[in-house]
Amino acid sequence: MSSYISCACNRVPHSADWGRNGLICFAACHAVAIYDPYISKIGKVTHTLHRHKDRINTVRWIKRRDSKVESELLSSSIDGTAIIWRKTNESFKCNSIIEVGHNVIFSNSLYISDHNFLNDEKSMKLFICTGSVEGDLKIWLRDTADNLKCLQTIIFDLPLLAVAIEDSTIQLYVTNTNIIEESYFIKAQVLTGHEDWVRCMDFIYDINNNIILASGSQDSMIRLWKISTNNTEFSIDKLHQKEQIFIANSTKYNITLESVLYGHEGWIYGVHWYPMQSDGKNRILRLLSCSLDKSMIIWEPDEVTGIWSEKVRVGEVGGNSMGFYGCKFSDNGLSILAHGYQGSFHIWEYSITIKNWTPRSVPSGHFGEVVDLHWDPNGRFLLSASTDQTTRIHAPWKNKTEFWHEIGRPQVHGYDMFCLVMLTPYMFASGAEEKVVRIFTAPATFKNYLMKIANVDDFKNMVADSASVPALGLTNKATFNDNFTIEDVEVNDFKNEDYIPPTEEELMQNTLWPELQKLYGHGYEIFSMAASHDGSLLATACKSTSPEHSAILLWSTNTWTQVQKLMSHQLTVTQMEFSPNNKYLLSVSRDRRWSLFECKDNMYTLIATSLRKDSLHTRIIWCCSWTYDSSFFATGSRDGKIGIWNPNFTDDKIVPTTSLDMKISITALAFSLQNIPQGFYILAIGLETGFIEIQKLKMFSNNFEWQKYIMYDTSQAHHLTVKRLKFRPQEKYSNILQLASCGSDHIIKIHDIDIL
């Protein structure tokens, strides 16, 4: 079971949708994430659905015209497939896979019933439309037995984008038969007027059952087209526009340009009509739009003149974001959502009391590969690092149950992050695609957030109130507020259940940590680091192809000076870890060897290293971990083998105490941090395939017995390589262990593991 899922939305249009069922579905790398915004105050990501093999481009709930809640969703991917997912009880299962054959850039669907009285999805047939980069539009039919067949393929002279083509026109296709199986779509009309590519479209029925099509374009314009059977529905004098006509099923239809909406200053990537209410009678004409100018606008026609105008505008000012890629109304129309270039969600709610739109907290996540994570020594929060050039802090607050949220973004860097480690409860070190190790310490703003959720009172040696990054700079500069002291904040002023986590704008602008120190000494990019458990020593290593640069540097955190240089490896050190008693330092490397250093007289010396030949591992060793009692350590390699080693080697022959061959590349290992009364160790294993396996190890007559306990698949764990696993420190013994994991799929999860 996952108590926390942190992930960002893919940076493509149409990758998120808000259904009448109250759920938000969105694309998260190669998976579909389900977000319930009504759990607690900020909502929670409850599921990740994995079946696609590449990035997902489009995710949509399959809508029903009778306004009932949706139970199916459609996703499409550049892997050439579209998948229909069906909700059963509280889970989602893959119902149908459509093999399109090419990179699918958009998809949509529509329920069709042969009998009006059949209102169950299982009794309805489903049209699915897919468009690929090859320029073909395919129409598919799923019958009531869930069988799929391609009804038609429409070939264009130019590649398709969304539902428009490259010459900035919109082509309308209709069918001239009422027999579903014989439906054949033909071109009915071409709508011209946009001066650049059309990026988004949405249909709605007005109170007279006319169809209104809203189209948004890169020309920053929105055009509203009315399709009706009544010739008097338009004013040709007002618009100076000739009507366009087409015939479908012996009925003549007119197309007129209803209005042109101008208010955005950037490309328009999303339009969405106000949802029709469940009674189907009160149809409110209200349009939501979003743009790369970082704004969302709600448009409405005047009740008297019918002229469309801007009624509400919300969005961002400043910052380093790139604007919005999509927008949606909530099921009741009282909330609006946008997702941005960096995968972040932005939700504004209408407050009846103040009669205004206010931003609310929403889940967030990295939009790049998550490469490392580390717990606060007291287990109060989790720190993560990503190639999206940020480090982030995730923390829980309790309101009957524990809810997690991102509460800080201490480092927003100019280089991809590679590693990090906590030194003390309020200090961490990070390494990036640069030669510098950077040290950060918590400001007063972060401690205020932590006070709200953890009621902590161990604030000492404050360095600054907050931090900021100068233009074109990489260093977080400390800022001070002379009128503020930590004593001004009373712990009792906050109640956990009243606490609202920071919004995306607050995270980006107000949660940086000041930089305390820079450490120079490596010749190449920092790749791995570890800290002693008392926080007095920091070990760092960089990328390397030679013994000279493969050295491990030890730094004193009291003086920030280099105290030792440990030589053993010949290639990049991939991971290091101090034993819990700080007696040993273990390192593993690309040179297929591990090295063990022992502390004697406050100096670490090499006491053992694995053999070059006749060794357990024959490929890169990616990971290592110590047992809670420092009695054993584990190593995991690309060759799929895990070795359990006793650091007290009695002879020259270095052999493992026991080993396990998983047959799949091992990329992450973590032993549990507590003594299990039953007398066994808990080992979490992360695989290159994204699976996470939990093993129980029990000692029998100087040998271990392996017992496979839990296996998390690619929907429960990760769908790309698991990069790091860490168990949460716990003050008291508990049957429930919490395991944090991160992966190349941009996702962070916290798993609750019942060890009994």
Give the residue among 524, 511, 525 at the shortest CA–CA distance from 383: 511
The b/e string for 712-734 (b: 16+ C-beta within 10 A; e otherwise) is bebbbbbbbbbbbbbbbeeeeee
Q: Give me the mean pLDDT over the 350-376 stretch.
A: 93
What is the band of 110 on the pLDDT scale with cuts at 50, 70, 90? Answer: confident
Q: Give me the mean pLDDT over the 55-81 stretch.
A: 91
What are the CA-CA distances from residue 703 to residues 341, 611, 627, 699 (Å)? Answer: 53, 22, 15, 5
Asked whether residue 159 carries a pLDDT value surpassing 50, the answer given is: no
Q: Give me the mean pLDDT over the 329-358 stretch.
A: 92
CB atoms within 10 A of CB 516: 18
What is the tens place of the pLDDT at every residue in 483-505?
A: 544 444 443 333 455 667 888 88
699/583: higher pLDDT: 583
Q: Give me the mean pLDDT over the 367-379 stretch.
A: 95
DSSP structure string for 95-144 = EEEEE--S-EEEEEEEEE-SSTT--SGGGSEEEEEEEETTSEEEEEEE-T
**Do the Cβ atoms of 522 and 435 come closer than 8 Å?**
yes
CB atoms within 10 A of CB 238: 10
Q: Say how many residues make up the chain.
A: 756
Residue 260: what residue type?
V
Contacts of 145 (CB under 8 A, 6+ apart): none
Q: Give me the mean pLDDT over the 615-620 stretch.
A: 92
What is the tens place of the pLDDT at every residue in 449-474?
A: 777 776 665 655 566 777 777 776 77
pLDDT at 242: 66
DSSP structure string for 473-521 = --S-EEE--TT--GGG--GGG--GGG--PPPHHHHHHH-PPPEEEEE--
**Do the Cβ atoms of 458 and 431 come closer than 8 Å?**
no
Asked whether residue 118 carries a pLDDT value surpassing 60, the answer given is: no
CB atoms within 10 A of CB 213: 21
What is the band of 318 on the pLDDT scale with cuts at 50, 70, 90? Answer: low
pLDDT at 483: 53
Give the residue among 387, 374, 440, 393 at the shortest CA–CA distance from 417: 387
Asked whether residue 10 carries a pLDDT value surpassing 70, the answer given is: yes
CA 483 distance to own-chain centroid:
38
Q: Give me the mean pLDDT over the 6-12 stretch.
A: 94
CA 107 distance to own-chain centroid:
22
d(C-alpha 399, C-alpha 494), whole Å: 13
Q: Give me the mean pLDDT over the 125-152 stretch.
A: 87
The bridge status of strand 31-36 relative to strand 44-50 is antiparallel
Asked whether residue 178 carries a pLDDT value surpassing 80, the answer given is: no
Least confident of 23-27, 106-110, 270-274, 540-544: 106-110
pLDDT at 278: 57
What is the tens place of the pLDDT at every residue in 583-604?
A: 999 999 999 999 999 999 889 9
Q: Which two tokens stand for residue 679?
A: 């007398």
Reduced to 3 states (helix: H, G, I; strand: E, B; else coil), residue 79 is coil
Can you name the residues that pair with 225 across neighbouring β-strands?
213, 257
What is the tens place of the pLDDT at every residue in 34-44?
A: 999 988 778 89
Q: Give me the mean pLDDT over the 36-63 stretch.
A: 92
What is the tens place of the pLDDT at every residue in 234-264?
A: 444 444 456 788 877 677 888 899 999 999 9
Ordered by start, the domain boundaries in the chain are: 364-520
Q: Which two tokens stand for residue 78?
A: 């550049």
Q: What angle do CA 606, 609, 614 make, to 5 degrees?
A: 165
Is the C-alpha dihedral spanning 391, 392, 393, 395 positive or negative? negative
What is the tens place of the pLDDT at every residue in 267-285?
A: 999 999 998 765 555 578 9
**Do the Cβ atoms of 481 and 465 come closer than 8 Å?**
yes
What is the tens place of the pLDDT at every residue in 721-749?
A: 999 999 999 888 888 999 999 999 999 99
